[in-house]
Amino acid sequence: MNPTLTNAWSRLAEHANSLTHTHLRHLFAIDSKRAQHFCAEACGILLDYSKNRINDDSLRHLFDLADACDLRTHILAMFEGEAINTTENRAVLHTALRAQGEAHVQVGGHDVIPDIRAVRARTHTFAKAVREGRWLGHTGQVIRDVVNIGIGGSDLGPLMVCEALRPYADGPRVHFVSNVDNLHLLQTLKGLDPASTLFIVASKTFTTVETLTNARSARHWLVEALGSEAAVAKHFVAISTNREKVTEFGIDADNMFGFWDWVGGRYSLWSAIGLPIEIAIGPERFDELLAGAAAMDLHFRTAPLKENLPVILALLGIWNINFLGFTSQVIAPYNQTLYRLPAYLQQLDMESNGKHVRVEGETVSYGTGPVIWGEPGINGQHAYFQLLHQGSRIIPVDFILALSQPGQTDPHRRTLIASCLAQSSALMSGRTAAEVRAEMQARGVAAAQIETLLPHRVFDGNRPSNTLLLKDLSPRSLGALIALYEHKVFVQGSIWGINSFDQWGVELGKQLAVGLEKRLEGAETPAYDGSTEMLLAYVARQKTKTR
């Protein structure tokens, strides 16, 4: 159903107008229990959403919208393996990758759980062999460094998790290469010993141009150093489904780990794509990551909508985007090891819901996916937070803070927590002219100077945010956090009526790049647009000058 045709949508539009001039300070003043009222907790995560421009009526209308769009049916369809990726006629079953216990998930009449667990058993065995020094390189040396070569979902997810769980890393050092700019590969390989380096090439089709270009260069580096083509089989493994291409590269097919077309790239870290995570932190802790995500899956599937963390987070986003006009969203993690989380969530959200047509092919008449951006909040306070506090645009923020993790000590921990809570409070409350004047008067500032500085030091406040507190930053907690955002994105796509699981815009760029690379190699190709032709000509002239 088109959400704009529901009564709930109309009521939300009217209701938003009634809150236009309502300040969050006022909402807190009239309800002493507001913070307790507008919070929810599950799977070791507390979500405080009291600093949003909402009241009880807002939530009631939002939950009515979810019901009008038949959200529960959409949730059930995903978990039961229906082909909800309609443009590719595929199921969407990243949740099956972390299913626990005696689970059974049917795809086309076939239970996929045994297949999943068979591949996981192989990755576990391989990871243990590498970690325990039983997998030896071509010259008999143990593996000390692992380089994952991938791009997009084959890089962002595993990289983010490996960095987030770095305090748990007790295996070989894990590195990631994604950029086809060869400096990324060269800088990564600098200082590594080819005899003790293992490469993981992550490409479902084993045809991804950027990944294969980097993989071939890495192969050349290895063979040149070790003096034998046979070395490839002991220093390269593949995460792929294309056995022919993998073996043609020189990788032993026994060292190819597959996954399925119902695993989207941005949801694939739970699959064999997570092999670098397993090598870094160990299979047992990888299983804990899966268990944390599975716990959030269970919560999402069974909790009432009014207590459901992914549903609440998603509906607040819809409220901000479609009814308050806030079309951007900041992700501000405060733990340093979560520094890659914003980049990961950019792909998860923007590749999923960056769509302008509904499932039926009808052009939408309302906003869909927000612009996701951010950096660690503790540094951001001294950088982009200025715009959040006093900029002309209002941009909601998700503050994310794990209260403990291995290696954290006071007073660092106290300062970290205080900084996070202070920023969310400041965005909500702001600072009035009267407060600024009183503060400067107390400091003895001259009256004329006060009036000059006053406009610059006033903060309007009333800027919405969520605060997500994790009890710790363990593999289990991280798994739950990632799954929370996965399901948030799914809920928003379901209500907007778009397909969150294809990415045809990404595919177009890939197709054009193939032809352009041929032109750069000197081949004749059809003419491109005027701008592209001008840029190609400029590139050709510069190439001539450097010869």
Confidence at residue 510, expressed as pLDDT on a 0 to 100 scale: 83
pLDDT beneath 50: ranges in the chain: none
- The pLDDT of residue 546: 67
Q: pTM of the predicted model, to two decimals?
A: 0.97
Ordered by start, the domain boundaries in the chain are 3-68+303-429+463-496, 94-285, 515-545
> Do the domains spanning 3-68+303-429+463-496 and 94-285 agree at the CATH topology level?
yes
Catalytic residue among 412, 510, 518, 543: 510
The burial class, CB within 10 Å (0-12 / 13-18 / 19+), for 393 is exposed
What is the structure's pLDDT at 199? 98
Residue among 351, 355, 486, 487 flagged as catalytic:
351
User: Regarding the domain delimited by 3-68+303-429+463-496, which CATH topology (the fold level of the hierarchy) does it fall under?
Assistant: Rossmann fold (3.40.50)
Q: Residue 198, SS3?
A: strand
Residue 267: predicted pLDDT: 97
Would residue 51 show up in a list of annotated catalytic residues for this protein?
no
Q: How far apart are CA 134 and CA 147, in angstroms?
A: 18
Distance CA 79, CA 77 (A): 6
Closest CA to 269 of 527, 37, 486: 486
H-helix segments, 444-503 = 447-457, 475-496
Please tell me which residue in 21, 190, 382, 545 is annotated as part of the active site: 382
**What's residue 547's pLDDT?**
63
As given in the structure block, the two tokens for residue 394 are 């209002």
> Tokens 């059974």 label which residue?
104
Which residues 6+ apart lie within 8 Å of 250 measured at CB? 219, 229, 232, 233, 236
What fold characterizes domain 94-285?
Answer: Rossmann fold (3.40.50)
DSSP 6: S
- Kindly report the backbone phi and psi dihedral angles of residue 258, in degrees, each rounded to the nearest multiple of 5, phi listed first: -100, 170
User: Rounded to 10 degrees, what is the CA torsion of 46, 52, 56, 58?
Assistant: -120
The amino acid occupying position 416 is L
Q: How far apart are the C-alpha atoms of 57 and 55, rounded to whole Å?
A: 5
Residue indicated by tokens 């400091």: 443
Based on the residue annotation, tell me whether 510 is a catalytic residue of this protein.
yes
Q: Which of 536, 506, 538, 498 is nearest to 518 (CA)?
A: 536
Tell me, what's the pLDDT at 544?
Answer: 77
